[in-house]
Structure 1
Amino acid sequence: MPTILAEAAHDGNWLLLAAVLASLAVFSVCAVILTVTDLREHRLPNRWTGALAAGGAVTLGLACLVNDAGWSRFWSMLGGGVAYLGLILLLHLISRTGMGLGDVKLAGGLGLYAGWLGWDHLFGAIVLGFVAGGVVALALVLTRRATGSTHLPFGPAMLLGTAAALLF
């Protein structure tokens, strides 16, 4: 997104700049609240996963209206949301004790953001989320703060992976 923000400012497309900044604000607020909640309570409240998805759909949808690549970004955004949600839903169905429904709902919203930038960013968000989750799990096991059967919140890793994909 930094490239898009820079191009929008350079071109004087203040509407695109405002819409993208608004989407990042929504993402940031929801990400902090969801991360803290998932770490404390091992749950991702519908209120905040919904706010993330709705806020992203509205702000990035508006950005599509004022962007030269609007329709391709719009379809990529929708496809990203469906693809990420579908992947995590599949993992939830395969392993009932692994991914929770909060993770599934979170994935839909995160897919909108990463998908808006393109399929490569979506792929990066997914991979980085799993890598972040794996590194944290490995560190906790190596320091004996967790075992192989410990349930760890995955939402923060998903949010971190998507945030990293949005920055690069």
Structure 2
Amino acid sequence: MPTAARSRLGARRADPALASPLPPDVESPGARIEAGIAALLVALVALRHLAEPAGGWWLAPAALLALAGARLVWTDLRQHRIPNSVTAPLAALGVAGLALDAAAGARVGVLVPALLVAGVLAALAATGGIGMGDAKLVLGLGLASPTATAAIATPMLAVLIGGLAAVPALLAGRRRERQPFGPALLLGWAGAVGVDPLSLYS
């Protein structure tokens, strides 16, 4: 074995963080539990509403979340990024669905809160506070919300969930570890849509 290869192998054995296929913060119980719950809960919430006969066109992006939620979570955990291959079609389906619902007189109040919240997060991303992928995901989740209440509640719940998920790392003294925010956003959306009483059309 070449000397350089032996050196890299020895470094990986000496440093557990290098030996692991995942970033150090992904090894924390909080991040793993949050990611697993996020993927499962998004799928359950989306499938629950898909079974309703008159749910509205917001179910189109919700179906995409049910299919791609696990991939989004895994990519954010492993690479600390949210893929455009998920956020772009999510936004496109959200815009199309919102236009169709608005033409029928439904969800007319969703667009402004979705754009406002996404704009705030985009400003935070510009300062390095969060990733731009998070801002794009928030826009897609807002457009995939059945009501303005759910669109606004999604990032608020996400901040709370993300803070709770970071507690184990903080208690262990790992204050500088970067926590992926995508799983918290998906959990926030699932909670907002699942609990929001206005999300069930009558």
Fold shared per TM-score above 0.5: yes
Q: C-alpha distance in 2, partners of 1:126/1:105?
A: 12
Q: Hey, what does 1:128 align to over in structure 2? A: 157
Cα offset for 1:18? 6.6
> Contact 1:27–1:56 at 8 Å: present in 2 too?
no
C-alpha offsets along residues 130-156 of structure 1, whole Å, 9 cap, x if unaligned? Answer: 0011001112222x2x62211121111
Q: Hey, what does 1:55 align to over in structure 2? A: 93
Aligned counterparts, 1:17-36, within 5 A? 17=55, 19-36=57-74
Q: C-alpha distance in 1, partners of 2:152/2:180?
A: 21
CA RMSD of aligned residues (A): 2.7
Q: Figure out how many residues of one structure are paired with residues of the other and give that number.
A: 149
1:162 aligns with 2:189: yes
Q: Which AA in structure 1 matches 2:111? A: L
**TM-score of the pair, normalised by structure 1:** 0.75
* SS across alignment from 2:55: helix
**TM-score of the pair, normalised by structure 2:** 0.64
Q: C-alpha distance in 2, partners of 1:161/1:31?
A: 13
Cα offset for 1:59? 3.0
Q: Which AA in structure 2 matches 1:89? A: A
Q: Hey, what does 1:81 align to over in structure 2? A: 114
1:42 aligns with 2:96: no
Q: Which AA in structure 2 matches 1:117? A: T
C-alpha offsets along residues 104-128 of structure 1, whole Å, 9 cap, x if unaligned? Answer: 21121112123x412x222321211
Q: Which of 106, 110, 113 is the equivalent residue of 2:141?
A: 110
* SS across alignment from 1:148: coil
* SS across alignment from 2:176: coil
Structure of larger gyration radius: 2
Q: Hey, what does 1:138 align to over in structure 2? A: 167
> Contact 1:52–1:109 at 8 Å: present in 2 too?
yes
Cα offset for 1:77? 2.5
Q: Which of 138, 141, 147 is the equivalent residue of 2:174?
A: 147
Larger helix percent: 1
Cα offset for 1:103? 1.1
Q: Which runs of 5+ in 1 are unaligned?
A: none
Q: Which AA in structure 1 matches 2:151? A: L
* SS across alignment from 1:17: coil
Instruction: Flag the 1:112–1:80 CA change in 2: closer, same or farther, 3 A.
Output: farther
Q: Which runs of 5+ in 2 are unaligned?
A: 1-44, 196-202
Moved over 4 A (4+): none
Q: C-alpha distance in 1, partners of 2:152/2:182?
A: 17
Q: Once the two structures are aligned, what percentage of the paired residues are identical? A: 33
